[in-house]
């Protein structure tokens, strides 16, 4: 079936190594037992077929083709020196290793895919711990404490700074917060503000956001709230 298909159109290859592997497999033997000249010829043949079919012959194919041609020419020439023979041998070994490595990779990637399919038939089962984690009852107190200590700070500051009258509105503040912050460490966040009005408005905005469930309490100590994933 596959052979038939091959007569009419060329299969697409992922890259030169893929093509090389395909050519080797057609021989049904180990790559090491095929003469490099044969492989090189078949590879070139294939490239020209691809070209005649107007397929995209990418540069990596051309690189491989030229490497193979170089090796073929080396193989045909009488060896000049031991050193050259050694270089050729090494080059050939490297190529073989790469093809075999690629073959291994294909097998591996198949195994990974099977694992993935296998994983799809199992669903993680969890249970939630019942007691101890629900401390949201303390939230109002905690919020109040935070707010009070911030107010105290602000009162101290008010003695030093001249407050520029500035109208801050809770709705705008809420939008700002939602836009800018994903998590808020409440104490630090409020401490960073300038005036008492700003702090109050911001605090109200935070309360409102919590009430609307757009932010949720992440941790009590320190007091951190986090934007709910929409």
Q: Which residues bind another protein (CB under 8 A)?
A: 14-18, 32, 58, 60, 64, 93, 96-102, 104-109, 111-113, 115-116, 118-129
98 versus 214: smaller Cβ distance to another protein? 98
Separation of alpha carbons 199 and 149, rounded Å: 12
Looking only at the bridges linking them, the beta strands covering 224-227 and 215-219 are antiparallel
Q: Closest CB to another protein among 80 and 131?
A: 131
CB of 69 to another protein, least distance (A): 17
Considering the complex, state which of residue 128 and residue 159 has its C-beta at the smaller distance from another protein: 128
Cβ distance to another protein smaller for residue 32 or 148:
32
Distance CA 138, CA 220 (A): 9
**Residue 71 CB, nearest distance to another protein (Å)?**
16
- Minimum CB–partner distance for residue 127 and another protein (Å): 4
Contacts of 214 (CB under 8 A, 6+ apart): 178, 227, 228
Q: From the CB of residue 41, how many other CB atoms can be counted at a distance below 10 Å? A: 15
CB of 27 to another protein, least distance (A): 17
CB of 93 to another protein, least distance (A): 6
Total residues found in the chain within this entry: 230
Residue 143 C-beta: closest distance to another protein, Å: 26
Give the C-alpha separation, 139 to 217, whole Å: 9
Nearer to another protein, 121 or 167 (CB): 121
Round to whole Å and give the CA distance between 204 and 196. 12
The CA–CA distances, whole Å, from 136 to 51, 131, 140 equal 70, 12, 8
| Residues pairing with 217 in the sheet | 225
Query: Which residue, 123 or 141, has its beta carbon nearer to another protein?
Result: 123
């Amino acid at each position: 079936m596959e052979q038939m298909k091959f007569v009419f159109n060329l299969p697409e290859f992922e890259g030169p190594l893929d093509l090389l592997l395909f050519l080797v497999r057609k021989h049904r033997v180990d790559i090491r037992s095929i003469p490099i000249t044969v492989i090189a010829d078949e590879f070139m043949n294939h490239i020209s077929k691809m070209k005649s079919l107007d397929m995209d012959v990418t540069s990596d194919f051309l690189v491989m083709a030229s490497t193979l041609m170089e090796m073929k020419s080396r193989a045909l020439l009488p060896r000049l020196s031991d050193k050259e023979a050694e270089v050729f041998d090494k080059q050939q070994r490297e190529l073989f290793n790469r093809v075999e490595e690629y073959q291994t990779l294909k097998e591996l990637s198949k195994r990974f895919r099977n694992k993935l399919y296998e994983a799809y038939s199992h669903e993680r089962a969890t249970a939630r711990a019942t007691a101890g984690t629900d401390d949201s009852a303390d939230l109002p107190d905690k919020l109040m404490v935070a707010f009070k200590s911030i107010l105290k700070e602000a009162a101290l500051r008010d003695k030093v700074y001249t407050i520029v009258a500035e109208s801050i509105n809770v709705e705008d503040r809420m939008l700002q917060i939602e836009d800018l912050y994903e998590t808020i460490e409440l104490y630090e966040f409020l401490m960073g503000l300038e005036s008492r009005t700003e702090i109050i408005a911001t605090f109200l905005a935070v309360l409102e956001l919590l009430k609307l469930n757009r932010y949720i309490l992440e941790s009590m100590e320190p007091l951190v709230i986090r934007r709910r994933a929409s």
